[in-house]
Amino acid sequence: SMNLSSVQAGMLDKFIEDYLLPDTTFGADVKSAVNVVCDFLKERCFQGAAHPVRVSKVVKGGSSGKGTTLKGKSDADLVVFLNNLTSFEDQLNRRGEFIKEIKKQLYEVQHERRFRVKFEVQSSWWPNARSLSFKLSAPHLHQEVEFDVLPAFDVLGHVNTSSKPDPRIYAILIEECTSLGKDGEFSTCFTELQRNFLKQRPTKLKSLIRLVKHWYQLCKEKLGKPLPPQYALELLTVFAWEQGNGCYEFNTAQGFRTVLELVINYQHLRIYWTKYYDFQHKEVSKYLHRQLRKARPVILDPADPTGNVAGGNPEGWRRLAEEADVWLWYPCFIKKDGSRVSSWDVPTVVPVPFEQVEENWTCILL
121: left (phi over 0), alpha (psi -120 to 50) or beta: beta
Q: Let me know: does 150 contact 188? Beta carbons within 8 Å.
A: yes
Distances (CA, A) of 121 to 34, 145, 321: 16, 12, 37
DSSP letters, 267-301, are GG-EE---SS--SSSHHHHHHHHHHHTSSSPEEEE
Residue whose C-alpha is closest to residue 200's, from 65, 300, 80:
65
Residue whose C-alpha is closest to residue 195's, from 75, 59, 39, 21:
59
Residue whose C-alpha is closest to residue 168's, from 284, 84, 279:
284
Specify the pLDDT at position 120.
82
Q: How far apart are CA 247 and CA 249, in angstroms?
A: 5
Q: How far apart are CA 312 and CA 315, in angstroms?
A: 9
Residues 253-307 have pLDDT tens digits of: 999 999 999 999 999 999 999 999 999 999 999 999 999 999 999 999 999 999 9
Query: What is the number of helices (H) and of strands (E) in the chain?
Result: 11, 8
Count of C-beta atoms within a 10 Å radius of residue 168: 11
Q: Let me know: does 290 contact 306? Beta carbons within 8 Å.
A: no
Residues 162-177 have pLDDT tens digits of: 889 999 999 999 999 9
Sign of CA dihedral 88, 93, 94, 96: positive
Specify the pLDDT at position 1.
56
Q: How far apart are CA 7 and CA 293, in angstroms?
A: 40
What is the reported pTM?
Answer: 0.92
Distances (CA, A) of 302 to 131, 135, 212, 283: 22, 30, 19, 17
Residues 51-95 have pLDDT tens digits of: 778 899 999 998 888 989 888 776 788 999 999 999 999 999 999
Specify the pLDDT at position 37.
85
Specify the pLDDT at position 343.
97
Q: How far apart are CA 267 and CA 343, in angstroms?
A: 19
Q: Round the CA-based radius of gyration of the chain to a whole number and report it.
A: 23
